[in-house]
Structure 1
């Protein structure tokens, strides 16, 4: 089982790496993939990280989930037509897609959220085209193959939700207990 976290300049550090950490603790393989053309990616907080792979050379057919961290860099996702095509292919095939904060706006603009329950960072609800917006009523919501979450403060919740889906309820509960999470 493998998850791909897509990185672009301006991604939210904690939103990405809290989820990546939780997944790895559950034994899920995670690759970070840069869409910037270089492996060094600078987060919204000015932290430079080195991605595992570059987008153009990565084989996505071996991954079950694409994860989009949010942040001001979310707008950069739209600039990568090949990423938009890949997301469309994943969605059409029923593969899992997860997005947090502003990143669910990408899924909304692509039409993936029509008739689905979703959440996002407050103020981005109008970008979730056709979604049933749950807003602050939930931290994380899964509807079909799409999982969305509100923001940095719900990053652990998103990670645990993906563990629940990809591994089991018990694994997610045990992991929450082991990390002292009482969310």
Structure 2
């Protein structure tokens, strides 16, 4: 089970690490971090954490699962034809291709979401729809016939990975992985979406209602 995560400067750490913690438990899982070159330390979007590429992207031509994280770098790399061509080529080999957060913009820019319902971080809706997708405010959106699964912002990657694990193994396996991580979220505030966040919290992020 080859699970490939592309690494690019400016990824969001939890977009990748959250799903990794689930998918690494799949039977026979081989985790591949694909960067521009093997051994490269790739910084996240705030330059506070780096992950080291296990493989050069050019040598990764196939995957059972391709999972594209988001982050500031994803918004920039929608204009990187080499990355988009690589995503398209690897997608042709996968059992599932997935994105978390603004990773959906890379799938969109690669032409994989045209005419499809999709989700992303709430701040990237306009960009997502510019690629012909229709935004839906769901945590996880699946298109089994197209082998696509798309997760909303950052923390939704864990929900996506559990959904994906159930598809690749069984619901019981996914539940076991959830239990192993003690993933039982009970946030102290109910402010995790635009629909629920209070005006003061939105203002701190520069969000204007309407």
> Structure 2 length normalisation: TM-score?
0.76
Larger relative contact order (CA 8 Å, sep ≥ 6): 1
Deviation of 1:33 (Å)? 0.7
- 1:121 maps to 2:124: no
Relative to 1, partners in 2 of residues 1:95 and 1:26: Cα closer, same or farther, differing over 3 Å?
closer
Residue equivalent to 1:7: 7
Check whether the contact 1:7–1:33 (CA below 8 A) recurs between aligned residues: yes
CA contact (8 A) 2:166 2:173 kept: yes
Shift of 1:172: 0.8
Question: Structure 2: where are the runs of 5+ without partners?
Answer: 186-210
Aligned to 1:22, the other structure's residue is in SS state helix
Q: 1:49 aligns with which of 48, 51, 55?
A: 51
Secondary structure in 1 aligned to 2:97? strand
Note the C-alpha offset of 1:7: 0.5
Q: Deviations over 1:23-61 (max 9, x none)?
A: 1123322111113786110111321221111212x2323
Residue pairs, 1:115-154, within 5 angstroms:
115-128=115-128, 129-135=131-137, 138-143=138-143, 144-154=146-156
**TM-score when normalising by structure 1:** 0.86
Structure 1: how far apart are the matches of 2:34 and 2:76?
14
Equivalenced residue count is 179
2:198 alignment counterpart: none
RMSD of equivalent CA atoms = 2.2
Greater Rg by CA = 2
Q: Equivalents in 1 of 2:111, 2:124: separation in Å? A: 15
Q: State the distance in 1 between where 2:114 and 2:17 align.
A: 29
- TM-fit CA distance, 1:130: 2.5
Q: Which runs of 5+ in 1 are unaligned?
A: none
